[in-house]
A and B are shown apart, each in its own frame.
Chain A
Amino acid sequence: MALTNYLVPAILLLAAASALRKRADVYGTLIEGGRDGLRLTAAILPSLVMLLTGLTLLRESGALGALTGLLAPLASAVGIPPETVPLLLVRPFSGSAALAVGAELMAVHGPDSLIGRTAAIMLGSTETTFYTVSVYFSAAGIRKSRFAVPAALTADAAGFLAAAFFARLLP
């Protein structure tokens, strides 16, 4: 993909140019915003440590492999790499747990392998469904959520299937 090579610097430049047009201090804004990135890293690091420790324990004990093996026929039947099954299971519940599982998959199989890419596409195109639903409904004082959860989970399922499909199709 030659185009995606230029995409990142081009987007950065475009954002900088739009800020400059509003007479903003571009470099100062970048530095100030960069601090948010450090805060974000500090905020997710403890949960990465705890979850990756739990996950490594599961993998080294053999339990993760057994679970994957159990669900493998089902996943393979719909074209999803069986290794990504743990990711599907945690994705709707916890964003940091999904990030940890995805990172583990990419580290073990390589970020550019089919499994690594499938995991990345799944992470990039789905959200923490149950968390989002509960935040929205409790904040808006909604008692009856009607079809929100089933519709959102249908979207997640479609996302997982499509991620597996397009990881194979696109380079």
Chain B
Amino acid sequence: MAMSWIWMGMVAAAMAYAALHGTGPALSGAVAAGTKQAVELGLSIAGSLCLWSGFAALLRAGGLQKRLAALLSPLLGRIYPTAARDPETMEALCGNTTANLLGLGNAATPLGIAAVRRMQTLAGSREATDEACRLIVMNTASIQLLPTTVAALRGGLGSASPFSILPAVWVTSLLSVSVGLLAARILQKWL
């Protein structure tokens, strides 16, 4: 529903602004240009998306996800001390974090939801627990190691080196997750 309002707002704002500033003649051309640009963009990233979806399938087949999860479990135990005492929560938590790191969004969400459900059931409350909120922060801040869709976009638009943004993406992600967790630590006392 929100998207309906956003989209109608975009079109209405463009019309109103054009009427006030006399840029109306550009509008019909803009519609044609916009659709053409979208299809060209879709075609130019289709190849990369195919390749990286194949890559994701290889990761699943190779069981890399499980090994990475085992590697992460000590670190996650420190972020989620209560959850760490329950193996079922911990398994979902590790799976969720690993899937996020590998960019397997479709696998990450059900695991994350399972972890939050389990946390809430154990706490016996409909009010989000501190650790459930922490999990949400970890999931709303991207921690993807290979942002393949963005790289596909860059490649499709003719970047000399689509993945050269990786180091910057990594430090930025790390910083934003850390700030999010820190904010959660501070806010949990009051909210």
Q: Which residues of A are at the interface with B, using a C-beta cutoff of 8 A?
A: 1, 4-5, 7-8, 11-12, 15-22, 24, 26, 29-38, 40-41, 44-45, 48-63, 66, 90, 93-94, 97, 99-100, 102-104, 106-107, 110-112, 116-117, 120-121, 123-129, 132-133, 135-137, 139-148, 150-152, 154-156, 158-159, 162-163, 166-167, 169-171
Contacts and interface: CB of A to CB of B under 8 A. Distances in A.
B84 to A, nearest CB: 19
Which of A54, A132, A147 has the most C-beta atoms of chain B within 10 angstroms of its own C-beta? A147
Given A52-B35, A140-B113, A145-B128, A166 B168 contact: yes
Interface string B156-176: 011111111111110111011
A151 B137 contact: yes
A67 to B, nearest CB: 9
Nearest to B49: A37
A11 B146 contact: yes
Given A15-B64, A132-B136, A102 B153 contact: yes
Contact of B128 (A8, A50, A56, A142): A142
Contacts, number: 356
A47 B5 CA distance: 14
B53 to A, nearest CB: 3
Contacts of B53: 33-37, 40
A167 B17 CA distance: 33
Nearest to B112: A136
B23 to A, nearest CB: 5
A155 B137 contact: yes
Secondary structure of the B contact surface, majority rule:
helix
Contacts of B82: none
Contacts of B147: 123-125
Nearest to A45: B42
B128 A148 contact: yes
20 contacts: A15-B58, A32-B54, A49-B39, A52-B41, A53-B30, A54-B10, A61-B21, A94-B6, A111-B157, A112-B160, A116-B159, A120-B150, A140-B113, A140-B117, A142-B116, A146-B133, A147-B184, A151-B133, A159-B176, A170-B168
A1 to B, nearest CB: 5
B139 A120 contact: no
B92 to A, nearest CB: 12
Interface string B120-157: 10000011100011011101111010110111011001
Given A124-B147, A125-B176, A133-B136, 8 more contacts: A15-B64, A24-B61, A30-B58, A41-B50, A63-B17, A102-B153, A147-B190, A148-B137
A54 B11 contact: yes
Closest 8 CB pairs of A and B: A33-B57, A155-B180, A18-B62, A159-B176, A56-B34, A37-B50, A124-B147, A37-B53
A120 B180 CA distance: 21
Nearest to B117: A140
B3 interface: yes
Given A60-B27, A60-B29, A111-B158, A151 B180 contact: yes
A93 B13 CA distance: 19
Contact of B117 (A53, A139, A148): A139
Given A58-B14, A159-B176, A152 B166 contact: no
Contacts of B126: 141-144
A124 B164 contact: no
